[in-house]
Structure formats: structure tokens, C-alpha cells
Amino acid sequence: MPRETILVIGANGQIGTALLPQLQDQFGIDHVIAADLRKPSSDTGIFEVLDATKPDRLTDVVRRHRVTQIYHLAAILSAKGESDPIWAWNLNMQTLLNVLEVSRLHGIRKVFVPSSIAAFGEHAPKYDTPQTTPLDPATVYGISKVATENWSLYYHKRYGLDVRSLRYPGVISYQSMPGGGTTDYAVSIFHEAVQGRSFECFLAADTRLPMIYMDDVLRATLELMEAPESQISVRTSYNLAGVSFTPAELTAAIQTYFPNFVTQYKPDFRQAIAESWPKTIDDSVARQDWGWKPAFDLPRLTHEMITNLTTVYR
């Protein structure tokens, strides 16, 4: 079998920063190409400055490095997207279509493009949201994710492109700060707690949302990408669950380490976005198809975040 060369677009972001070392371990540091709008502050291996809205530049990178797989992580997330919806739509769709086209034309073997719980909206059941249900999202980000899922299915059916996808919940990690989403509070809260500060939360205390710890995200992504094609029955995007909690429950979990830690609640425009999303996710299709099972519950995730961030801020 030919050696794989992996291109990660949006590599400097929250997920790319954590995924890159895992891919380098799996495929070798010389076979993973990181790409983003700007160079990262530290050396992370082979890097290309790339604006993925530019098809010629993307094609050049794919050809020069003989890329065989693409992880497309560049996107504008839910809260940031609402500040300029047309810009967010154009960026999310243009980068996606460029990735799908370059993959079709240059024989890319596998493509990973994440979707999100933001694909769901008013008419999806809020608890145990099923794999197949109405998708009528309230944000431009969610609309772009529904379109992403449908374009992925189209390229698979029409051209046989092996595109795979997960509907990620809100991702919690210590490696970098999140990039403008509605679930970002669940990362920022740890940074404040570990530095001995109180936290002002932009969601109400009882706002339950599906979340997932980064280690589970990385394992789910790599397990999906390694699964035999015959086991992949969903070509839009798989529901994926980690753990669901409210800001009040997360605060209580943090208080087991820092009893004086306090959260104040000042909901803003992101409250309406959060209320349009599921509270818990049914990921039974992912479990059946390729054996998905999350490992991080709220106590374990809290322990990992506090332990790792304590080292960062020491």
C-alpha cells in the first residue's frame, strides 16, 4: 500500500492544534502537512501558508506534497459567523467546495470534514437527538454545516469520493483557545478557575449542551477514518456524543477542586443559539457502525482540564 500523506487545513485552530501531533505519530512527521492562513508561533513540522478559498493555491499544495488524505478543519464557527453571515457562508462553502473538487480531480483517497450539533434546529428533538431528523438550523454556521453534509454525500454518491464526517459536540481542550463558538464558555471557565479568578458566563446556568473532551474527539476522528469503507453507512455526518452538562453543573465540578470558585451568569446573544441546539445526542449509529464509545465523563474531563492547565499557568 502506498504511504499516506495527510494535509490538515485549519491546522492552527482548536482541533487542528491537538490533531496534528496525533497524525504525525500515526503517519510520520514528514507525511503530515499543516496549513492555515498564518504560520503558527512555534515550529510544528511541515507548514504551508494557505488560504483555502483559493483553489489554485490549494491544488499547488496538494500536488507538490503528493497529498493522499485531507482533514478540512477551516471554518467560521457559530457565534463569530453571526457577526457577518455572508462572509461566514462564503468562507465555509468556498473552502469546502475547493477541498471536494481538488480531492476529486487529484485522486485524494480520504477526506474528513466535520459537521456540528449546530446542524440541528427548532424541529429536532432536544433530548437524544436522532441521527436522522429535520435539520433547520438557526445560525449561518449551522446552515453551512447542513450544506456541507449534503455536498459530502453528493461527492460520495456521484464521484465515489470517500468523504467522512462527524457532528462534533462542543469541544473541550486545554491545548489552545476555541475559535468563536457558543460552547466556548466551557473552555474559558477552566482558564479563569485555574488562575484563581471568578467567571462571567454568557449562557444561563441551566443551559444543557452536548460537549466532548478533546481526547474523545481525536479518537473518534481517527477511528472513523481508519474504519473499513464497508462499515461507513452514513455519508452526511455521524452523530457523536461525549457528555452533556449545564454551566451550573460544570461550575459544581470545578468547585470540587476550587471550593471558592464562582460563576456569574450574564446571557447574551449566544443564549438563543444554545437554545436552538440539542441537549443530548443519540450516537447509536456511530456505535453500531464503527464501535464508537466515549471515555470522558464530566468528572474525568474536569480532572484532565485542571491538571493540564495548572501546568500551563504554573
Catalytic residues: 141
What residues from 70 to 129 belong to the interface with ligand AKB (CB under 6 A)?
Answer: 77-78, 116-118
Nearest distance from C-beta of residue 49 to ligand NAD, angstroms = 9
The interface region with ligand NAD, picked from 59-67, 153-161, 163-171, 202-210 by CB under 6 A, is 163-171
Tell me the torsion sign for CA atoms 38, 40, 41, 47: negative
The phi, psi pair for 58, rounded to 5°, reads -65, -45
With contact defined as beta carbons under 8 Å apart, do 94 and 53 qualify?
yes
| CA atoms within a 13 Å half-sphere pointing along the CA-CB vector of 200 | 3
In the bound complex, what is the minimum distance in angstroms from residue 61's beta carbon to ligand NAD?
11
Whose CA is closest to 20, among 222, 216, 199?
222
Mark the segment that binds ligand NAD (CB under 6 A) among 177-185, 225-233, 246-254, 269-277.
Answer: 177-185
Q: Which of 32, 75, 146, 189 binds ligand NAD (CB under 6 A)?
A: 75
Residues 6+ apart with CB under 8 A from 264: 198, 199, 200, 201
Q: How far is CA 304 from CA 81, 229, 244, 296, in A?
A: 30, 33, 17, 9
Contact 296, 217 (CB under 8 A): no
Is position 53 an interface residue for ligand NAD (rule: CB under 6 A)? yes
Type of residue numbered 208:
R
| Grid cell 428533538 in the structure block, residue | 125
Residue 35 burial by Cβ neighbours in a 10 Å radius (0-12, 13-18, 19+): buried
Cα torsion 10, 311, 213, 189: sign = negative
* DSSP helix/strand/coil, 124: coil
For ligand NAD, the closer CB: 77 or 253: 77
Closer Cβ to ligand NAD, 116 or 152, answer by number: 116
Residue 114 touching ligand NAD (CB under 6 A)? yes
Interface residue with ligand AKB among 170, 242, 247, 278 (CB under 6 A) is 170
256 vs 269, beta carbon nearer ligand NAD: 269
By a kind-dependent CB cut-off of 5 to 8 A, residue 182 interacts, out of ligand AKB, ligand NAD, none, with: ligand AKB
Among the listed ranges 12-20, 192-200, 251-259, 272-280, the one in contact with ligand NAD (CB under 6 A) is 12-20
CB of 260 to ligand NAD, least distance (A): 29
Number of residues that bind ligand AKB (CB under 6 A): 10
Nearest to 27 by CA among 11, 5, 12: 5
Q: How far apart are CA 128 and CA 242, in angstroms?
A: 12
Decide: is 14 part of the binding site for ligand NAD (CB under 6 A): yes
Site membership for ligand AKB, residue 182 (CB under 6 A): yes
Q: Per-residue string for binding with ligand NAD, 208-237, x by CB under 6 A?
A: ------------------------------
Out of 168, 213, 245, 292, the residue judged to bind ligand NAD by CB under 6 A: 168
Interface ranges with ligand AKB (CB under 6 A): 77-78, 116-118, 141, 170, 181-183
Interface ranges with ligand NAD (CB under 6 A): 9-10, 12-16, 36-37, 50-53, 73-75, 77, 91, 95, 114, 116, 168, 170-171, 178-179, 181, 183
